[in-house]
Chains A and B, each alone.
Chain A
Protein backbone atom coordinates (compact mmCIF):
# COMPACT_ATOMS: atom_id res chain seq x y z
CA UNK A 1 0.00 0.00 0.00
CA UNK A 2 1.32 3.43 -0.87
CA UNK A 3 1.16 4.02 -4.59
CA UNK A 4 1.48 7.72 -5.47
CA UNK A 5 0.17 8.99 -8.77
CA UNK A 6 0.43 12.43 -10.40
CA UNK A 7 -1.92 12.71 -13.39
CA UNK A 8 -1.54 15.77 -15.65
CA UNK A 9 -0.90 17.90 -12.58
CA UNK A 10 -0.58 21.66 -12.91
CA UNK A 11 -0.27 24.28 -10.21
CA UNK A 12 -0.67 28.01 -10.76
CA UNK A 13 -0.10 30.45 -7.92
CA UNK A 14 -2.09 33.66 -7.93
CA UNK A 15 -4.96 34.65 -10.26
CA UNK A 16 -5.51 32.00 -12.93
CA UNK A 17 -5.07 34.33 -15.93
CA UNK A 18 -1.81 36.00 -14.89
CA UNK A 19 -0.56 33.79 -12.06
CA UNK A 20 2.84 32.13 -11.79
CA UNK A 21 2.89 28.64 -13.27
CA UNK A 22 4.79 26.49 -10.78
CA UNK A 23 4.04 23.03 -12.18
CA UNK A 24 2.93 21.91 -15.62
CA UNK A 25 1.98 18.50 -17.03
CA UNK A 26 3.41 16.49 -14.18
CA UNK A 27 2.90 12.77 -14.72
CA UNK A 28 4.66 10.51 -12.29
CA UNK A 29 3.84 7.22 -10.61
CA UNK A 30 5.64 5.98 -7.53
CA UNK A 31 5.17 2.27 -6.91
CA UNK A 32 4.56 0.71 -3.54
CA UNK A 33 7.81 0.67 -1.53
CA UNK A 34 9.67 2.48 -4.22
CA UNK A 35 12.09 5.26 -3.33
CA UNK A 36 11.82 8.14 -5.79
CA UNK A 37 13.91 11.29 -5.55
CA UNK A 38 13.02 14.51 -7.34
CA UNK A 39 15.94 16.80 -8.22
CA UNK A 40 15.80 20.12 -9.95
CA UNK A 41 17.08 23.69 -9.94
CA UNK A 42 15.87 25.80 -7.01
CA UNK A 43 12.43 27.27 -7.49
CA UNK A 44 11.42 24.56 -9.97
CA UNK A 45 8.46 23.43 -7.90
CA UNK A 46 9.84 20.20 -6.47
CA UNK A 47 8.70 21.07 -2.96
CA UNK A 48 5.26 21.92 -4.35
CA UNK A 49 5.05 18.35 -5.71
CA UNK A 50 5.61 17.00 -2.22
CA UNK A 51 3.11 19.39 -0.66
CA UNK A 52 0.45 18.20 -3.10
CA UNK A 53 0.92 14.61 -1.92
CA UNK A 54 0.98 15.72 1.72
CA UNK A 55 -2.34 17.52 1.26
CA UNK A 56 -0.92 20.92 2.30
CA UNK A 57 -1.60 22.29 -1.17
CA UNK A 58 -3.84 21.31 -4.07
CA UNK A 59 -3.35 21.14 -7.84
CA UNK A 60 -4.94 23.76 -10.10
CA UNK A 61 -5.50 21.05 -12.71
CA UNK A 62 -5.13 17.27 -12.82
CA UNK A 63 -5.15 15.00 -9.78
CA UNK A 64 -2.76 13.70 -7.17
CA UNK A 65 -3.81 10.41 -5.65
CA UNK A 66 -2.47 7.83 -3.23
CA UNK A 67 -3.72 4.27 -3.69
CA UNK A 68 -6.33 5.55 -6.11
CA UNK A 69 -7.81 8.08 -3.68
CA UNK A 70 -7.49 11.76 -4.52
CA UNK A 71 -5.57 13.64 -1.81
CA UNK A 72 -7.89 16.09 -0.01
CA UNK A 73 -6.22 16.75 3.34
CA UNK A 74 -3.07 15.94 5.32
CA UNK A 75 -3.03 12.62 7.16
CA UNK A 76 -0.79 10.26 9.12
CA UNK A 77 -0.72 7.66 6.32
CA UNK A 78 1.37 10.23 4.42
CA UNK A 79 3.98 11.27 6.98
CA UNK A 80 6.19 14.27 6.24
CA UNK A 81 9.77 15.02 7.28
CA UNK A 82 10.45 18.74 6.90
CA UNK A 83 13.74 20.41 6.08
CA UNK A 84 13.56 22.56 9.21
CA UNK A 85 12.46 19.56 11.31
CA UNK A 86 9.25 21.27 12.56
CA UNK A 87 9.45 19.63 15.97
CA UNK A 88 7.26 21.09 18.71
CA UNK A 89 9.74 23.04 20.85
CA UNK A 90 7.58 22.79 24.00
CA UNK A 91 7.44 19.00 23.90
CA UNK A 92 10.14 16.50 24.80
CA UNK A 93 11.49 14.09 22.20
CA UNK A 94 9.21 11.39 23.59
CA UNK A 95 6.13 13.61 23.51
CA UNK A 96 6.92 14.79 19.98
CA UNK A 97 6.94 11.20 18.78
CA UNK A 98 3.86 10.31 20.80
CA UNK A 99 1.39 12.87 19.37
CA UNK A 100 0.65 11.00 16.15
CA UNK A 101 0.07 7.71 17.97
CA UNK A 102 -2.20 9.38 20.49
CA UNK A 103 -4.24 10.93 17.67
CA UNK A 104 -4.65 7.44 16.23
CA UNK A 105 -6.02 6.22 19.55
CA UNK A 106 -3.18 3.79 20.26
CA UNK A 107 -3.29 2.63 23.88
CA UNK A 108 -0.70 3.98 26.31
CA UNK A 109 1.16 0.68 26.77
CA UNK A 110 1.45 0.12 23.04
CA UNK A 111 2.56 3.69 22.53
CA UNK A 112 5.37 3.21 25.01
CA UNK A 113 6.45 0.02 23.25
CA UNK A 114 6.43 1.49 19.77
CA UNK A 115 8.16 4.71 20.80
CA UNK A 116 10.79 2.70 22.68
CA UNK A 117 11.44 0.61 19.57
CA UNK A 118 11.78 3.62 17.27
CA UNK A 119 14.03 5.45 19.75
CA UNK A 120 16.31 2.39 19.77
CA UNK A 121 16.28 2.17 16.00
CA UNK A 122 17.24 5.83 15.60
CA UNK A 123 19.82 5.84 18.38
CA UNK A 124 17.81 8.26 20.50
CA UNK A 125 17.32 6.14 23.66
CA UNK A 126 19.08 8.55 25.99
CA UNK A 127 17.33 11.64 24.59
CA UNK A 128 13.70 10.72 25.27
CA UNK A 129 13.29 13.44 27.90
CA UNK A 130 15.34 16.11 26.10
CA UNK A 131 13.79 19.12 24.45
CA UNK A 132 14.48 19.69 20.74
CA UNK A 133 16.60 22.80 21.32
CA UNK A 134 18.99 20.76 23.44
CA UNK A 135 19.82 18.53 20.47
CA UNK A 136 22.06 19.05 17.44
CA UNK A 137 20.48 19.47 13.99
CA UNK A 138 21.26 15.86 13.08
CA UNK A 139 19.64 14.56 16.25
CA UNK A 140 16.60 16.77 15.74
CA UNK A 141 16.15 15.36 12.25
CA UNK A 142 16.40 11.84 13.67
CA UNK A 143 13.53 12.74 15.97
CA UNK A 144 11.52 14.07 13.03
CA UNK A 145 12.16 10.85 11.09
CA UNK A 146 11.22 8.79 14.15
CA UNK A 147 8.02 10.84 14.54
CA UNK A 148 7.09 10.00 10.93
CA UNK A 149 8.20 6.35 10.96
CA UNK A 150 6.47 5.46 14.20
CA UNK A 151 3.11 6.06 12.50
CA UNK A 152 3.84 3.16 10.17
CA UNK A 153 2.87 5.36 7.20
CA UNK A 154 2.10 4.07 3.70
CA UNK A 155 4.08 6.94 2.25
CA UNK A 156 7.02 8.89 3.61
CA UNK A 157 7.46 12.40 2.20
CA UNK A 158 10.87 13.96 2.76
CA UNK A 159 11.44 17.59 1.81
CA UNK A 160 15.20 18.17 1.62
CA UNK A 161 15.46 16.50 5.01
CA UNK A 162 19.24 16.79 5.20
CA UNK A 163 19.49 20.24 3.61
CA UNK A 164 19.97 22.00 6.94
CA UNK A 165 22.71 19.64 8.18
CA UNK A 166 26.48 19.95 7.92
CA UNK A 167 28.27 17.72 5.38
CA UNK A 168 29.45 15.06 7.83
CA UNK A 169 26.15 14.70 9.64
CA UNK A 170 24.48 14.55 6.26
CA UNK A 171 26.51 11.50 5.19
CA UNK A 172 25.73 9.72 8.46
CA UNK A 173 22.03 10.42 8.04
CA UNK A 174 22.07 9.21 4.43
CA UNK A 175 23.61 5.91 5.49
CA UNK A 176 21.09 5.62 8.31
CA UNK A 177 18.21 6.23 5.95
CA UNK A 178 19.40 3.47 3.64
CA UNK A 179 19.66 1.15 6.64
CA UNK A 180 16.16 2.13 7.75
CA UNK A 181 14.74 1.75 4.25
CA UNK A 182 16.14 -1.78 3.99
CA UNK A 183 14.86 -2.81 7.37
CA UNK A 184 11.43 -1.31 6.97
CA UNK A 185 10.76 -0.37 3.35
CA UNK A 186 8.21 2.36 2.60
CA UNK A 187 7.12 4.30 -0.41
CA UNK A 188 9.33 7.37 -0.27
CA UNK A 189 9.14 10.64 -2.17
CA UNK A 190 12.37 12.47 -1.51
CA UNK A 191 13.02 16.07 -2.56
CA UNK A 192 16.61 17.25 -2.85
CA UNK A 193 18.90 19.45 -4.88
CA UNK A 194 21.91 17.24 -4.06
CA UNK A 195 22.45 14.93 -7.01
CA UNK A 196 24.73 12.44 -5.24
CA UNK A 197 22.26 12.08 -2.42
CA UNK A 198 19.50 11.31 -4.90
CA UNK A 199 21.55 8.69 -6.76
CA UNK A 200 22.75 7.09 -3.55
CA UNK A 201 19.29 6.81 -1.98
CA UNK A 202 16.73 6.44 -4.73
CA UNK A 203 15.43 3.67 -6.95
CA UNK A 204 14.49 6.27 -9.54
CA UNK A 205 15.47 9.91 -9.89
CA UNK A 206 13.09 12.37 -11.55
CA UNK A 207 14.80 15.44 -13.00
CA UNK A 208 12.72 18.60 -13.21
CA UNK A 209 13.06 21.58 -15.52
CA UNK A 210 13.34 25.11 -14.25
CA UNK A 211 10.02 26.94 -13.69
CA UNK A 212 7.44 26.22 -14.91
CA UNK A 213 8.38 22.86 -13.47
CA UNK A 214 8.02 19.81 -15.67
CA UNK A 215 9.52 16.37 -15.43
CA UNK A 216 12.30 16.24 -17.96
CA UNK A 217 13.69 12.79 -17.46
CA UNK A 218 13.38 9.85 -15.11
CA UNK A 219 16.54 7.83 -14.39
CA UNK A 220 16.34 4.23 -13.33
CA UNK A 221 18.97 3.84 -10.61
CA UNK A 222 17.65 0.61 -9.12
CA UNK A 223 18.61 -1.60 -12.08
CA UNK A 224 22.15 -0.17 -12.11
CA UNK A 225 22.39 -0.58 -8.35
CA UNK A 226 21.41 -4.21 -8.65
CA UNK A 227 23.62 -4.95 -11.68
CA UNK A 228 26.67 -3.30 -10.12
CA UNK A 229 25.89 -4.60 -6.65
CA UNK A 230 26.07 -1.23 -4.83
CA UNK A 231 24.42 -2.69 -1.78
CA UNK A 232 27.44 -4.85 -1.04
CA UNK A 233 29.33 -1.72 0.05
CA UNK A 234 28.99 -0.51 3.58
CA UNK A 235 30.04 3.09 3.14
CA UNK A 236 28.74 5.87 1.02
CA UNK A 237 32.16 6.97 -0.29
CA UNK A 238 32.85 3.47 -1.64
CA UNK A 239 29.66 3.54 -3.65
CA UNK A 240 30.40 7.05 -4.83
CA UNK A 241 33.75 5.89 -6.26
CA UNK A 242 32.16 3.25 -8.50
CA UNK A 243 32.23 3.98 -12.18
CA UNK A 244 28.54 3.23 -12.56
CA UNK A 245 27.72 5.74 -9.81
CA UNK A 246 29.93 8.44 -11.30
CA UNK A 247 28.39 7.84 -14.70
CA UNK A 248 24.85 8.20 -13.36
CA UNK A 249 25.71 11.28 -11.34
CA UNK A 250 27.42 12.98 -14.27
CA UNK A 251 24.47 12.34 -16.51
CA UNK A 252 22.10 14.02 -14.05
CA UNK A 253 24.50 16.89 -13.49
CA UNK A 254 24.68 17.53 -17.19
CA UNK A 255 20.93 17.43 -17.50
CA UNK A 256 20.55 19.97 -14.67
CA UNK A 257 23.28 22.16 -16.09
CA UNK A 258 21.40 22.47 -19.36
CA UNK A 259 18.55 23.83 -17.27
CA UNK A 260 20.79 26.40 -15.64
CA UNK A 261 22.16 27.45 -19.04
CA UNK A 262 18.65 27.85 -20.38
CA UNK A 263 17.96 30.34 -17.63
CA UNK A 264 17.98 33.96 -18.84
CA UNK A 265 20.89 36.03 -17.50
CA UNK A 266 20.03 37.94 -14.34
Chain B
Protein backbone atom coordinates (compact mmCIF):
# COMPACT_ATOMS: atom_id res chain seq x y z
CA UNK B 1 0.00 0.00 0.00
CA UNK B 2 1.26 3.50 -0.79
CA UNK B 3 1.32 5.97 2.08
CA UNK B 4 -2.13 7.18 3.06
CA UNK B 5 -3.41 10.57 1.90
CA UNK B 6 -4.32 13.46 4.15
CA UNK B 7 -8.01 14.47 4.18
CA UNK B 8 -7.10 17.59 2.18
CA UNK B 9 -5.36 15.55 -0.49
CA UNK B 10 -8.21 13.09 -0.91
CA UNK B 11 -10.73 15.96 -1.06
CA UNK B 12 -8.60 17.54 -3.78
CA UNK B 13 -8.49 14.30 -5.78
CA UNK B 14 -12.27 14.00 -5.44
CA UNK B 15 -12.65 17.53 -6.78
CA UNK B 16 -10.35 16.76 -9.71
CA UNK B 17 -12.51 13.77 -10.66
CA UNK B 18 -15.66 15.84 -10.37
CA UNK B 19 -14.21 18.70 -12.45
CA UNK B 20 -13.07 16.23 -15.12
CA UNK B 21 -16.59 14.81 -15.30
CA UNK B 22 -18.15 18.28 -15.73
CA UNK B 23 -15.45 19.20 -18.26
CA UNK B 24 -16.13 16.08 -20.32
CA UNK B 25 -19.86 16.79 -20.21
CA UNK B 26 -19.25 20.43 -21.27
CA UNK B 27 -16.91 19.28 -24.04
CA UNK B 28 -19.53 16.96 -25.50
CA UNK B 29 -22.12 19.74 -25.65
CA UNK B 30 -19.77 22.56 -26.75
CA UNK B 31 -18.25 20.51 -29.56
CA UNK B 32 -21.76 19.84 -30.84
CA UNK B 33 -21.31 16.07 -30.57
CA UNK B 34 -24.54 15.90 -28.59
CA UNK B 35 -27.51 18.08 -29.43
CA UNK B 36 -29.20 20.14 -26.73
CA UNK B 37 -32.21 17.82 -26.79
CA UNK B 38 -30.08 14.81 -25.99
CA UNK B 39 -27.65 16.36 -23.55
CA UNK B 40 -28.05 19.96 -22.36
CA UNK B 41 -24.89 21.75 -21.14
CA UNK B 42 -24.13 21.71 -17.39
CA UNK B 43 -25.14 25.28 -16.57
CA UNK B 44 -28.59 24.88 -18.19
CA UNK B 45 -29.24 21.85 -16.03
CA UNK B 46 -28.04 23.74 -12.95
CA UNK B 47 -30.26 26.67 -13.84
CA UNK B 48 -33.25 24.38 -14.26
CA UNK B 49 -32.43 22.65 -10.97
CA UNK B 50 -32.37 25.93 -9.03
CA UNK B 51 -35.52 27.06 -10.83
CA UNK B 52 -37.38 23.87 -9.94
CA UNK B 53 -36.45 24.21 -6.27
CA UNK B 54 -38.98 27.01 -5.84
CA UNK B 55 -41.24 26.66 -8.86
CA UNK B 56 -43.97 24.15 -9.34
CA UNK B 57 -43.57 21.54 -12.03
CA UNK B 58 -45.91 18.56 -12.30
CA UNK B 59 -47.90 19.96 -9.42
CA UNK B 60 -45.16 20.65 -6.88
CA UNK B 61 -41.72 22.16 -6.36
CA UNK B 62 -38.68 19.92 -6.47
CA UNK B 63 -38.41 20.07 -2.68
CA UNK B 64 -42.02 18.96 -2.30
CA UNK B 65 -41.44 16.12 -4.75
CA UNK B 66 -38.39 15.11 -2.75
CA UNK B 67 -40.38 15.19 0.48
CA UNK B 68 -43.04 12.93 -1.03
CA UNK B 69 -40.35 10.54 -2.28
CA UNK B 70 -38.56 10.51 1.02
CA UNK B 71 -41.72 9.63 2.90
CA UNK B 72 -42.32 6.59 0.67
CA UNK B 73 -38.69 5.63 0.98
CA UNK B 74 -38.77 5.92 4.78
CA UNK B 75 -41.79 3.62 5.08
CA UNK B 76 -40.32 1.00 2.76
CA UNK B 77 -36.91 1.15 4.39
CA UNK B 78 -38.23 0.98 7.96
CA UNK B 79 -40.52 -1.90 7.05
CA UNK B 80 -37.55 -3.75 5.51
CA UNK B 81 -35.44 -3.18 8.64
CA UNK B 82 -38.23 -4.10 11.07
CA UNK B 83 -38.90 -7.41 9.30
CA UNK B 84 -35.43 -8.19 7.91
CA UNK B 85 -33.28 -7.71 11.01
CA UNK B 86 -35.23 -9.91 13.46
CA UNK B 87 -35.80 -12.56 10.79
CA UNK B 88 -32.10 -12.60 9.91
CA UNK B 89 -31.07 -12.94 13.56
CA UNK B 90 -33.55 -15.74 14.19
CA UNK B 91 -32.38 -17.55 11.06
CA UNK B 92 -28.83 -17.27 12.36
CA UNK B 93 -29.85 -18.97 15.61
CA UNK B 94 -32.57 -21.50 14.69
CA UNK B 95 -31.23 -23.83 12.02
CA UNK B 96 -34.72 -25.09 11.16
CA UNK B 97 -35.93 -21.58 10.28
CA UNK B 98 -32.73 -21.01 8.29
CA UNK B 99 -33.37 -24.10 6.20
CA UNK B 100 -36.98 -23.18 5.56
CA UNK B 101 -36.43 -19.54 4.61
CA UNK B 102 -33.05 -19.55 2.83
CA UNK B 103 -34.05 -21.38 -0.41
CA UNK B 104 -37.10 -19.23 -1.05
CA UNK B 105 -35.21 -16.06 -0.10
CA UNK B 106 -32.28 -16.93 -2.36
CA UNK B 107 -34.69 -17.48 -5.22
CA UNK B 108 -36.57 -14.23 -4.75
CA UNK B 109 -33.74 -11.83 -4.03
CA UNK B 110 -32.36 -11.89 -7.57
CA UNK B 111 -35.57 -10.44 -8.94
CA UNK B 112 -34.91 -6.73 -9.47
CA UNK B 113 -37.23 -4.45 -7.46
CA UNK B 114 -38.51 -2.88 -10.69
CA UNK B 115 -39.78 -6.29 -11.83
CA UNK B 116 -42.32 -6.09 -9.01
CA UNK B 117 -43.86 -2.90 -10.40
CA UNK B 118 -46.90 -4.53 -12.08
CA UNK B 119 -47.69 -6.65 -9.02
CA UNK B 120 -47.11 -3.78 -6.64
CA UNK B 121 -49.62 -1.67 -8.55
CA UNK B 122 -52.08 -4.55 -8.68
CA UNK B 123 -51.84 -5.62 -5.06
CA UNK B 124 -51.20 -2.40 -3.19
CA UNK B 125 -52.38 0.28 -5.59
CA UNK B 126 -50.62 3.35 -6.93
CA UNK B 127 -51.09 5.42 -3.78
CA UNK B 128 -48.57 4.74 -1.07
CA UNK B 129 -48.78 0.93 -0.88
CA UNK B 130 -47.36 0.01 -4.30
CA UNK B 131 -44.24 2.19 -4.17
CA UNK B 132 -43.54 1.09 -0.60
CA UNK B 133 -43.58 -2.52 -1.71
CA UNK B 134 -41.04 -1.83 -4.46
CA UNK B 135 -38.72 0.06 -2.12
CA UNK B 136 -39.15 -2.75 0.39
CA UNK B 137 -38.14 -5.27 -2.30
CA UNK B 138 -34.93 -3.31 -2.85
CA UNK B 139 -34.11 -2.64 0.79
CA UNK B 140 -35.05 -5.97 2.39
CA UNK B 141 -32.29 -8.38 1.23
CA UNK B 142 -29.29 -6.53 2.71
CA UNK B 143 -31.13 -6.10 6.04
CA UNK B 144 -31.79 -9.82 6.28
CA UNK B 145 -28.44 -10.99 4.93
CA UNK B 146 -26.35 -8.80 7.20
CA UNK B 147 -28.32 -9.61 10.33
CA UNK B 148 -28.02 -13.30 9.42
CA UNK B 149 -24.29 -13.12 8.78
CA UNK B 150 -23.79 -11.07 11.94
CA UNK B 151 -25.58 -13.73 13.97
CA UNK B 152 -23.77 -16.60 12.27
CA UNK B 153 -20.31 -15.17 12.83
CA UNK B 154 -20.66 -14.12 16.45
CA UNK B 155 -17.61 -15.29 18.35
CA UNK B 156 -18.66 -18.73 19.73
CA UNK B 157 -16.99 -17.89 23.05
CA UNK B 158 -19.51 -15.10 23.62
CA UNK B 159 -22.43 -17.47 23.13
CA UNK B 160 -20.80 -20.00 25.44
CA UNK B 161 -20.17 -17.28 28.02
CA UNK B 162 -23.84 -16.27 27.89
CA UNK B 163 -24.99 -19.88 28.28
CA UNK B 164 -22.58 -20.43 31.14
CA UNK B 165 -24.10 -17.37 32.81
CA UNK B 166 -27.51 -19.02 32.62
CA UNK B 167 -29.00 -17.05 29.71
CA UNK B 168 -31.97 -18.94 28.20
CA UNK B 169 -31.89 -19.65 24.42
CA UNK B 170 -34.31 -17.03 23.15
CA UNK B 171 -32.63 -14.34 25.24
CA UNK B 172 -29.27 -15.27 23.70
CA UNK B 173 -30.74 -13.87 20.47
CA UNK B 174 -31.65 -10.49 21.94
CA UNK B 175 -28.78 -10.15 24.40
CA UNK B 176 -25.84 -11.59 22.47
CA UNK B 177 -26.63 -12.08 18.78
CA UNK B 178 -28.29 -8.69 18.33
CA UNK B 179 -25.67 -6.49 20.03
CA UNK B 180 -22.80 -8.53 18.61
CA UNK B 181 -24.27 -8.13 15.11
CA UNK B 182 -24.79 -4.37 15.34
CA UNK B 183 -21.73 -3.46 13.23
CA UNK B 184 -22.81 -5.90 10.51
CA UNK B 185 -26.45 -4.77 10.73
CA UNK B 186 -25.48 -1.11 10.38
CA UNK B 187 -23.42 -1.75 7.27
CA UNK B 188 -26.37 -3.76 5.95
CA UNK B 189 -28.64 -0.79 6.60
CA UNK B 190 -26.28 1.40 4.61
CA UNK B 191 -26.46 -0.90 1.59
CA UNK B 192 -30.18 -1.31 2.15
CA UNK B 193 -30.81 2.45 2.21
CA UNK B 194 -28.84 2.81 -1.01
CA UNK B 195 -30.74 0.08 -2.81
CA UNK B 196 -34.08 1.29 -1.46
CA UNK B 197 -33.40 4.83 -2.60
CA UNK B 198 -32.28 3.52 -6.01
CA UNK B 199 -35.55 1.62 -6.39
CA UNK B 200 -37.42 4.86 -5.88
CA UNK B 201 -37.63 5.96 -9.51
CA UNK B 202 -38.97 2.55 -10.46
CA UNK B 203 -41.44 2.75 -7.62
CA UNK B 204 -42.64 6.14 -8.74
CA UNK B 205 -43.24 5.09 -12.33
CA UNK B 206 -46.62 3.97 -11.07
CA UNK B 207 -47.57 6.93 -8.91
CA UNK B 208 -49.79 9.62 -10.29
CA UNK B 209 -49.34 12.46 -7.86
CA UNK B 210 -45.88 13.53 -6.66
CA UNK B 211 -42.32 12.38 -6.16
CA UNK B 212 -38.96 12.82 -7.88
CA UNK B 213 -39.62 9.80 -10.10
CA UNK B 214 -42.98 11.27 -11.10
CA UNK B 215 -41.29 14.60 -11.83
CA UNK B 216 -38.81 12.84 -14.09
CA UNK B 217 -41.52 10.94 -15.94
CA UNK B 218 -43.39 14.21 -16.50
CA UNK B 219 -40.16 15.89 -17.63
CA UNK B 220 -39.64 13.14 -20.15
CA UNK B 221 -43.21 13.52 -21.41
CA UNK B 222 -42.55 17.24 -21.92
CA UNK B 223 -39.26 16.57 -23.72
CA UNK B 224 -37.52 18.54 -20.97
CA UNK B 225 -34.17 16.82 -20.62
CA UNK B 226 -33.03 19.45 -18.06
CA UNK B 227 -35.92 18.46 -15.79
CA UNK B 228 -35.06 14.77 -15.99
CA UNK B 229 -31.44 15.55 -15.19
CA UNK B 230 -32.43 17.83 -12.30
CA UNK B 231 -34.32 14.88 -10.83
CA UNK B 232 -31.25 12.69 -11.24
CA UNK B 233 -29.10 15.26 -9.44
CA UNK B 234 -31.62 15.54 -6.60
CA UNK B 235 -31.66 11.75 -6.19
CA UNK B 236 -27.87 11.69 -6.18
CA UNK B 237 -27.56 14.41 -3.55
CA UNK B 238 -30.13 12.89 -1.19
CA UNK B 239 -28.60 9.43 -1.62
CA UNK B 240 -25.18 10.82 -0.76
CA UNK B 241 -26.49 12.60 2.34
CA UNK B 242 -28.26 9.44 3.45
CA UNK B 243 -25.11 7.40 3.07
CA UNK B 244 -23.04 9.99 4.95
CA UNK B 245 -25.49 9.98 7.85
CA UNK B 246 -25.45 6.18 8.12
CA UNK B 247 -21.68 6.07 7.75
CA UNK B 248 -21.30 8.52 10.63
CA UNK B 249 -23.61 6.38 12.76
CA UNK B 250 -21.59 3.29 11.88
CA UNK B 251 -18.34 4.97 12.84
CA UNK B 252 -19.77 6.21 16.16
CA UNK B 253 -20.92 2.71 17.06
CA UNK B 254 -17.62 1.08 16.13
CA UNK B 255 -15.71 3.67 18.13
CA UNK B 256 -17.88 2.97 21.16
CA UNK B 257 -16.94 -0.70 20.81
CA UNK B 258 -13.26 0.17 20.58
CA UNK B 259 -13.05 -1.06 16.99
CA UNK B 260 -11.10 1.16 14.63
CA UNK B 261 -12.52 1.96 11.24
Which A positions have Cβ atoms within 8 angstroms of B?
A: 54-56, 73-76, 78-80, 82, 84, 86-90, 99-100, 103-104, 131-134, 147, 151
- Chain B, residue nearest A147 (CB): B165
- Chain A, residue nearest B158 (CB): A86
- Within the complex, what minimum Cβ distance (angstroms) separates B256 from chain A? 8
Q: Choose from A89, A90, A99, A131 the contact partner of B165 (Cβ within 8 Å).
A: A99
Asked if A76 and B176 sit within 8 Å, CB to CB, the answer is no
Asked if B258 and A74 sit within 8 Å, CB to CB, the answer is no
Asked if A54 and B165 sit within 8 Å, CB to CB, the answer is no
Could you mark each residue 153-188 of chain B with 1 if its beta carbon is under 8 Å from any beta carbon of chain A, else 0? 001011011111111100000011001101000000
Complex: how many Å from CA A46 to CA B257? 32
- Within the complex, what minimum Cβ distance (angstroms) separates B13 from chain A? 33
Q: Choose from B160, B176, B259 the contact partner of A80 (Cβ within 8 Å).
A: B160
Asked if A74 and B257 sit within 8 Å, CB to CB, the answer is no
Asked if A131 and B160 sit within 8 Å, CB to CB, the answer is no
Asked if A74 and B176 sit within 8 Å, CB to CB, the answer is no
Which B positions have Cβ atoms within 8 angstroms of A?
A: 155, 157-158, 160-168, 175-176, 179-180, 182, 256-259
Q: What are 15 contact pairs spanning A and B, CB under 8 A?
A: A54-B164, A55-B163, A56-B163, A73-B163, A74-B163, A75-B164, A82-B157, A84-B157, A86-B161, A88-B162, A90-B179, A103-B165, A103-B166, A131-B258, A132-B258
Q: Choose from A54, A87, A103 the contact partner of B167 (Cβ within 8 Å).
A: A103
Looking at B161, B162, B180, B259, the one whose CB has the most chain A CB atoms below 10 A away is: B161
Asked if B166 and A133 sit within 8 Å, CB to CB, the answer is no
Asked if A89 and B257 sit within 8 Å, CB to CB, the answer is yes
- Within the complex, what minimum Cβ distance (angstroms) separates A227 from chain B? 37
Given A88-B176, A88-B179, also A99-B167 (CB < 8 A) = yes
Complex: how many Å from CA A75 to CA B168? 10
Contacts of B257 on A, CB cut-off 8 Å?
Answer: 89-90, 131, 133
Asked if A80 and B161 sit within 8 Å, CB to CB, the answer is yes
- Within the complex, what minimum Cβ distance (angstroms) separates A100 from chain B? 4
- Chain B, residue nearest A78 (CB): B164
Contacts of A90 on B, CB cut-off 8 Å?
Answer: 179-180, 182, 256-257
Contacts of A131 on B, CB cut-off 8 Å?
Answer: 256-258
Complex: how many Å from CA A227 to CA B91? 59
Given A88-B176, A90-B182, A133-B258, also A76-B157 (CB < 8 A) = no
- Chain A, residue nearest B258 (CB): A133
- Within the complex, what minimum Cβ distance (angstroms) separates B103 from chain A? 27
Contacts of B155 on A, CB cut-off 8 Å?
Answer: 86
Given A89-B258, A90-B179, A131-B258, also A75-B157 (CB < 8 A) = no
- Within the complex, what minimum Cβ distance (angstroms) separates A38 from chain B? 19
Beyond the given pairs A75-B164, A80-B160, 6 more chain A to chain B contacts, judged by CB atoms under 8 angstroms and listed by A's residue number, are A56-B160, A79-B165, A82-B160, A99-B165, A133-B257, A147-B165
10 tightest CB-CB pairs across the interface, nearest first?
A133-B258, A103-B166, A100-B165, A86-B157, A74-B163, A76-B166, A86-B161, A90-B179, A74-B164, A80-B164
Looking at B165, B168, B179, B257, the one whose CB has the most chain A CB atoms below 10 A away is: B165
Asked if B163 and A151 sit within 8 Å, CB to CB, the answer is no
Contacts of B179 on A, CB cut-off 8 Å?
Answer: 88, 90
Complex: how many Å from CA A88 to CA B167? 13
Q: Choose from B164, B175, B180, B259 the contact partner of A79 (Cβ within 8 Å).
A: B164
Asked if B166 and A82 sit within 8 Å, CB to CB, the answer is no
- Within the complex, what minimum Cβ distance (angstroms) separates B163 from chain A? 4
Complex: how many Å from CA A104 to CA B166? 7
Contacts of B167 on A, CB cut-off 8 Å?
Answer: 99, 103
Looking at B158, B164, B167, the one whose CB has the most chain A CB atoms below 10 A away is: B164
Contacts of A100 on B, CB cut-off 8 Å?
Answer: 165-166
Contacts of A56 on B, CB cut-off 8 Å?
Answer: 160, 163
Asked if A76 and B165 sit within 8 Å, CB to CB, the answer is yes
Asked if A74 and B158 sit within 8 Å, CB to CB, the answer is no
